[in-house]
């Protein structure tokens, strides 16, 4: 059984391995991939209004097998209160649920975006209204900026923060520590690299030249950080889900030396 971790001050206990469903719809086995994740014990699936076909796919799964026992977390790109509220309503309709445990502001990665969503009448106000209406349980934020992540954690406004973290991008580690200090849940995106790195690694594995740099070791690296609440690698096929689940089930934390070695290998992938 997959281990559970606490998602910060939300109090939610979620499987330490989740499913990032951004690219899942772009697969002939999309439905089977989501079902494989749920049947394997994954109980947290991340989506967004702007992930093409993703909410629709998850809505199909909800309608065919029910939505009990797993959490769907969605996100909005919109920056105003009215637009954010509309997005929440659309998410609920498409997903076929009456409430989402977590809804996030999506890719708030510039000072301008931060100012817009946190200003009076900004998207944060819209999500607070949706929370008051009982449509969402908790409010989170995703970002590709370490500085915005710091603002979000220290603001006290967000229950979770989603940020990139992997051996390719270890710079997030101090922010993960800061989030733990403030009881903010950490959702680690791109835990096995993303951006074509996985394809390159699998090619190296097939040629017998991968060394330490494998998806399994990369996932171990992320799960070795106790401040990470959940890692959400993407998957288009059930086989990828099963590989990630097998890694998580057999997981033993890496030593600091092993983590540094993997970071060094990662830095040389395209070197």
What is the reported pLDDT for 210? 67
**Tens digit of pLDDT for each residue in 96-143?**
999 999 999 999 999 999 999 999 999 999 999 999 999 999 999 999
CA dist., res. 15 & res. 108, Å (int): 26
Report the Cα–Cα distance between both ends of the chain, in Å, rounded.
38
What is the reported pLDDT for 195? 61
Cα–Cα–Cα angle for 72, 75, 80, rounded to 5 degrees: 145
**Tens digit of pLDDT for each residue in 173-191?**
999 999 999 999 999 999 9
- Judged against a pLDDT cut of 90, whether residue 205 lies above it is answered with no
């Amino acid at each position: 059984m997959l281990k559970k971790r606490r998602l910060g001050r939300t109090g939610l206990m979620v499987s330490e391995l989740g499913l990032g469903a951004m690219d899942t719809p772009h697969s002939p086995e999309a439905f089977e991939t989501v079902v494989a994740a749920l049947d394997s014990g994954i109980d947290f699936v991340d989506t967004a209004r702007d992930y093409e076909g993703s909410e629709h796919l998850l809505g199909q799964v909800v309608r065919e097998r029910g939505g009990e026992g797993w959490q769907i977390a969605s996100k909005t790109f919109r920056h105003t209160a009215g637009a954010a509220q509309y997005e929440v309503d659309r998410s609920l309709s498409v997903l076929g649920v009456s409430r989402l445990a977590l809804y996030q502001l999506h890719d708030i990665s510039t000072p301008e975006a931060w100012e817009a969503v946190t200003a009076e009448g900004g998207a944060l106000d819209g999500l607070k209204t949706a929370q008051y209406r009982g449509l969402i349980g908790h409010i989170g934020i995703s970002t590709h900026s370490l500085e915005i992540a710091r603002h979000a954690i220290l603001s006290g406004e967000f229950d979770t923060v989603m940020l990139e973290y992997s051996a390719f991008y270890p710079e997030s580690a101090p922010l993960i520590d800061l989030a733990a200090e403030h009881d903010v849940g950490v959702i680690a995106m791109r835990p096995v690299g993303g951006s074509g790195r996985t394809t390159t690694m699998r090619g190296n594995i097939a040629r017998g030249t991968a060394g330490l740099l494998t998806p399994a070791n990369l996932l171990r690296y992320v799960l070795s950080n106790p401040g990470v609440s959940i890692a959400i690698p993407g998957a288009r096929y059930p086989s990828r889900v099963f590989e990630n689940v097998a890694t998580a089930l057999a997981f033993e934390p890496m030593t600091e030396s092993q983590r540094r070695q993997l970071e060094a290998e990662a830095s040389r992938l395209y070197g």
